[in-house]
Chain A
């Protein structure tokens, strides 16, 4: 066992020579499923494990933290140091943050998805930082020859109170680095936190107000050329031939050739234009004449996709995701039942920074820089696809100009690597907005058939069937099993307590590439399940919030319901005033939202206000949480009332913001956000605020107008 052995001085020196920092602490994963162990550089070296050096302190006392996750707006760049600074006892502004390179062996899971950065690492980070602090205190105590218990740490210093002696961490790092990491350290109580739980300002904000934050598109390396690629507008199509005669006339164009990049289990083909500026590359791409081979797969229109989903829901029963009691029998016998269909559209991520990637292929290594959500996946995938050993594929994360799930895929870095290899030099591949908007993968559009029976004011039978593409199929997932996220978003106490219930997934495929989009299936499920619950509440003659309360008996959920009721003034609302509620759960956090709408004199409705209550358990920065909910509501507003990716002849129709319109500043209602305080484990923050908005809005419209919106997107002015 690593923590039971001693570290030889010889090995320590060897390691110190390898690292610039004097004191480094990191984690070590002894094996899958086992808890992370904390090691210093010497121990890591001694036992032949990969040191991830999560926290470095050098002789000047400068603290450097490796952020293992991407920063795409959600706040990992703030959250990770805020956690570390608390237990390490340093000032937040004395910490520099460096993005870690992709390396699963060192950093574990680095995929910035599933709202998992804080909830997946905070316990280890707290323990790591407290361990480092205790080692520094021990080093100080030994140096002064005083008992450790008389010493404490504060603002980057070790202090011996009885004598008034104090030493900067920088003076102690060498001694501390020779100590073995203590096995058990005492973590602070939440009430004693000085930084965690406070709305501290983000460390990355100043860089984002003067243009110095380096996003993927801003990365430059010496000798770098620029490339744009004309890709087949249908994923499964191929390049038959191309004419580059006009392209080669454009000043600055250097090279034109066919490229192929992997997209999960398939490939996408295109023609790359390499030039000495982005503009020349884009002009060269426009001047290409490409003939595509689009045989062997269907070219679908949106209408056909939804016709097939509707047909499937009428004729097929699907695979049982969850089934209990006798829902079919009760529904068949019922004299009165609700049988309704909800339809949700395909969505485009539309990050403000279009996809791009810098690659530099050299004989002995490949280096990548880009806005990347999943660096170790990129490393792994490119290593396999291009037959380069993994340690020679170096993946660097820049800041991401938005991600929302799209930048977790490997296609664009792979394509950049292929182009760099072809031209034998560094290149930045720039996707135009049109490329970004039309190539996918998209969030799948899903149709839901919901059937229910109310008896004595309660749900007697509850059945939801869904027909839509399963993202896992693009990654080689089994096709004879139901979608494992068929009820994602819907609170578990419902599925546990409703006696007669069925959730059925009808396998549905198209050649259109689909993948994660912020909050994933909860973004569509939330609308269907929470609208349907509202319909059932009205059928039962109950108040929609009281109806939910009766099923959500857990203490945390009762408190959440009480809170949203209180802050939104739910009880004092008048009948038909236009209030709607929805509550969803995803990535271990639950969010309740109430939306208020009113009629416009000119027709249609407007959103007057949104109230949101978040229960994410333990949390780091309440202002980050508020920002994420604000953003989630805005994104959900667009998804509910404007956005749909339409397909015609197998291709996405809208290719820029001129037709794929974004919500603008005037469209945003006031949003009043509250966070629950409790001692539960941390939940996700970046995504859970999105799913409840659409159903809360349409439930409010029903309250105001008696009209039930069952298809997204819908126009607020058309209600």
Chain B
């Protein structure tokens, strides 16, 4: 066990953790933030995606020691009022059914839209291929990403 400090959603969490512990379980069980989900434990489903210094990572296979000194953002920290364009698009299209995978889906989509503000269907298929939805909300995920892209464009200053 080691004393470490994680910065999650711009807040410091002093924790005592096995350095080998995946970031997922440190976020959930030690920091008590339950929005990030466990789905497979082997980086196959994407339910555990969080941002580490802005990059999407699978927290179930990322050692907690790797997150020390970095900015971790989870679904709870994406916006204060559930109003990130991706969250709003998800609400507008009523994407979730059971909802379990959508923390990870949304976190993946946010990175996609930062890198490709105007994604094609192919871009979406590529970027979202690592996120499983057993309820089968894929068509709505695609529609919501396009909608969020449109909204982002409207919000951006016109040049």
Contacts and interface: CB of A to CB of B under 8 A. Distances in A.
A578 B82 CA distance: 45
Given A209-B102, A352-B98, A657-B44, A665 B134 contact: no
A204 interface: yes
Interface residues of B, number: 58
Contacts of A633: 136
Interface residues of A, number: 65
A515 B82 CA distance: 39
A404 B134 CA distance: 10
B29 A211 contact: no
A389 to B, nearest CB: 33
A353 B18 contact: no
Interface string B82-109: 1000010011001111111111001000
Given A205-B91, A211-B36, A352 B47 contact: yes
Interface in A251-293: 251-252, 277-280, 282
A208 B37 CA distance: 12
A665 B136 CA distance: 9
Contacts of B155: none
Contacts of B22: 279
Nearest to A631: B136
The list of the 8 closest CB pairs from A to B, nearest first, reads A211-B35, A634-B136, A401-B100, A208-B99, A73-B98, A73-B97, A218-B34, A631-B136
Given A252-B18, A401-B99, A666-B125, A352 B76 contact: no
A288 to B, nearest CB: 17
Interface in B100-139: 100-103, 106, 124-125, 128-129, 131-139
Interface of A: 71-75, 201-202, 204-215, 217-218, 220, 226, 251-252, 277-280, 282, 350-354, 399-404, 430, 432-433, 623, 627-628, 630-635, 656-658, 662-668, 670-671
A211 B75 contact: yes
A631 B97 contact: yes
A220 B99 contact: no
Contacts of B131: 665
Interface of B: 1, 18, 21-22, 25, 28-30, 32-42, 44-45, 47, 74-76, 78-79, 82, 87, 90-91, 94-103, 106, 124-125, 128-129, 131-142
Given A632-B136, A664-B128, 4 more contacts: A209-B87, A209-B96, A213-B99, A402-B135
Given A278-B29, A352-B100, A631-B137, A211 B47 contact: no
A432 B39 contact: no
B96 A208 contact: yes
Contacts of A670: 139
A49 to B, nearest CB: 35
Contacts of B28: 278
A218 B29 CA distance: 9
A71 B90 CA distance: 19
Contacts of B137: 627, 630-631
A321 B124 CA distance: 49
Contact of B94 (A201, A279, A628, A668): A201
A702 to B, nearest CB: 25
B70 to A, nearest CB: 20
Most A CB within 10 A of own CB, among B25, B38, B74, B103: B38
Contacts of B106: 209
A74 B137 CA distance: 12
26 contacts: A75-B97, A205-B96, A209-B91, A212-B35, A213-B99, A220-B32, A277-B21, A279-B18, A279-B21, A352-B133, A354-B38, A400-B98, A402-B135, A627-B97, A630-B137, A630-B139, A633-B136, A656-B44, A657-B40, A657-B44, A662-B132, A665-B124, A665-B131, A665-B138, A665-B141, A666-B129
A665 B128 contact: yes
A508 to B, nearest CB: 29
A627 B140 contact: yes
A73 B135 contact: yes
A171 B56 CA distance: 52
A476 B140 CA distance: 42
B25 A278 contact: yes
Contact of B134 (A204, A218, A351): A351
B129 A665 contact: yes
Nearest to B92: A201
B29 A671 contact: no
B139 A202 contact: no
A631 B137 CA distance: 6
Given A73-B99, A279-B25, A401-B98, A210 B35 contact: yes
